Amino acid sequence: MLAKVALVTGSSRGIGRAIALELATQGLQVVINYAQSAAQAQQVVDLIQAGPGKAVAIQADVADPAQVEQLFSQTLAQWGRLDVLVNNAGITRDGLTIRMKDDDWRKVLDLNLGGVFWCCRQASKIMLKQRAGRIINIASSSGLMGNAGQANYAAAKAGVLGLTKSLARELASRGITVNAVAPGFIATEMTQALNHDAILAMVPLGRLGQPEEVAGLVRYLACDPSAAFITGQVLSMDGGLVM
């Protein structure tokens, strides 16, 4: 049987990197997508290929539909199939709504919601033909609760939840599942500049999550046979922040 293939957007750093490494341990061949961090993406490839795993780094700005098309055609040229898509690439451009620049609104929506849509559209075409596949979208607790100073980010992440449920309904008859994972505060570059005391006061488990913990949940949704009966769901991974 052909080895399965996973594409993880934004997997040069942070949560995406942990997801790519975790999926490689399950025997999947992994596409490491990045926008700018070429050296870090190559490090992830090297780490995977130091073991029995296979990986390739592909540069593409997933906020740009033309580059997304290239990303998927390069993936097919490399391995001929796609079994798992993890839409992880994301950015923040925080600011109160009254001061938010048009560009900060557009950039966050274009990547965090548009990018998920462009990638889902490409993956759906491939997975419908294969009559199999698993799509996991990385949302956020901000998309469930809202967050002052993150109107752009929360709107995009809430949009991802509507997209996830709609696509889950569109693809279910072919056995393709589409789910979202909503992390709370996870220790990555994205949360480095935040006030950790203020964060910890909100989190019942009293700590930040680790990228590897999010990766474990994604591995379950992407690889476990029993996850075949889970679709259209939003699973929180947040130390009890949202309950």
Which of 107, 174 has the CB closer to ligand NAP?
A: 107
Of the candidate spans 42-50, 56-64, 76-84, 216-224, the one that interacts with ligand NAP by CB under 6 A turns out to be: 56-64
**For this structure, is 34 an active site residue?**
no
**Per CB under 6 A, which of residues 65..104 are in contact with ligand NAP?**
88-91
Beta bridge partners of 58: 33
Catalytic pick among 72, 79, 153, 185:
153
Cα torsion at 70, 72, 78, 80 (round to 10°)?
A: -140
Tell me phi and psi for residue 179, to 5 degrees: -135, 165
For ligand NAP, which residue of 25, 74, 147, 191 counts as binding (CB under 6 A)? 191
For ligand NAP, which residue of 29, 34, 113, 218 counts as binding (CB under 6 A)? 34
Q: Which amino acid is at 22?
A: E
Contact 179, 137 (CB under 8 A): yes
**Look-up of token digits 């002052």:** 148
Contact 235, 217 (CB under 8 A): yes
How far is 109 from 113, CA to CA, in rounded Å?
5
For ligand NAP, which residue of 5, 8, 13, 123 counts as binding (CB under 6 A)? 13
Catalytic residues: 153
- Applying CB under 6 A, the residues found at the interface with ligand NAP are 9-16, 33-37, 61-63, 88-91, 111, 138, 140, 183, 185-186, 188-191
